[in-house]
Amino acid sequence: MSKIKNYLIIIFALLYTNSFGQISEEITLKASYNYGKSVAVFGGSVSVIPASDSAKEMWKERLGMTITNYGVGGAGFSSLQGKSLQQQVDGAGVFDIYILWASTNDYTNKREVGSYTDYSEFDGFDENKLITQAGGINYCIKKIYELNPKAQIYFFTSSKAFNDRGAYDPFAENGMQAHVAMQKRICELHGIPYLDQFTLGGYSLYNKDLYYTDPIHMNEAGYKKLGELQVAFLAWPK
């Protein structure tokens, strides 16, 4: 009898702890400055494919966000790359939060990384530099602040891909890490918080088959894993 009683006490304790943890998390997330905000998302296919909804649904459920997605498959920051993020931002309205979600397209299509000064006050906003990734990022940031001077901009860096070594090896010569490093450098110039998905995502050759549906695009499980990072970042950006 005492064994059954002890067993029931343990079960009750576990259920109570789990329920308390969920309630505590909900209270914490609702205390976020970003709770309930309107969000615009710009990016390539990684931000718009159906599987990516599993991450964005987490933003809605846990942070009460309303989301408008301007992303288009094949897009990059370079003006040469598909319906670029420059074009996407040009067509945007006013939101509380703007998320620039970097794809792998500038890297895989060999668009020039450029300099953090491309299309900035340092070169007189030289439109010839809009063909570089850096110039495109600076354009998007400038345009968003023109749309909404009170906007909060966040940046999600490119995630790892597995179509070649440079797409996942941070030490490979001429790899995607150069694009990611430039993304972060420009964010630091403008004081924009960024989520380093390339480094923090936790994807590797050893687990990619669990989380990727092809060498570039994640499956639903991959986006749920990424979504946990994104929710934590959006709740308390650093």
Residue ranges in 191-219 assigned as alpha helix (H): 197-200, 208-211
Q: Are residues 8 and 60 in the same domain?
A: no
State the residue range of the domain holding 175: 35-235
Number of domains making up the chain: 2
Segment 15-64, tens digit of pLDDT: 444 444 445 556 678 899 999 999 999 999 999 999 999 999 999 999 99
pLDDT score, position 119: 98
pLDDT score, position 20: 41
Q: Are residues 143 and 39 in the same domain?
A: yes
Question: Tokens 């003006």, residue?
Answer: 79
Q: Are residues 63 and 160 in the same domain?
A: yes
Three-state DSSP class for residue 122? coil
Q: Are residues 16 and 127 in the same domain?
A: no
Angstrom distances, CA of residue 70 to CA of 14, 42, 47, 133: 43, 5, 9, 18
pLDDT score, position 16: 44
Three-state DSSP class for residue 29? helix
The two tokens of residue 157 are 């860096």
H or E element, residue 25:
helix 2-30
Q: How far apart are CA 175 and CA 192, in angstroms?
A: 24
Q: Are residues 95 and 13 in the same domain?
A: no
Q: Are residues 96 and 6 in the same domain?
A: no
Segment 110-122, tens digit of pLDDT: 999 999 999 999 9
Q: Are residues 3 and 89 in the same domain?
A: no
pLDDT score, position 110: 97
pLDDT score, position 13: 42
Q: Are residues 22 and 139 in the same domain?
A: no
Q: Are residues 55 and 170 in the same domain?
A: yes
Nearest of 199, 222, 225, 198 to residue 210 by alpha carbon: 222
Q: Are residues 188 and 219 in the same domain?
A: yes
- Which positions of the chain have pLDDT values less than 50? 3, 6-22
CATH for 206: 3.40.50.1110
Q: Are residues 162 and 211 in the same domain?
A: yes
pTM of this prediction? 0.89
Rg of the Cα trace of the chain? 20
Q: Are residues 101 and 163 in the same domain?
A: yes
Task: Return the half-sphere exposure (C-beta side, CA atoms, 13 A cut-off) of residue 77.
Answer: 34
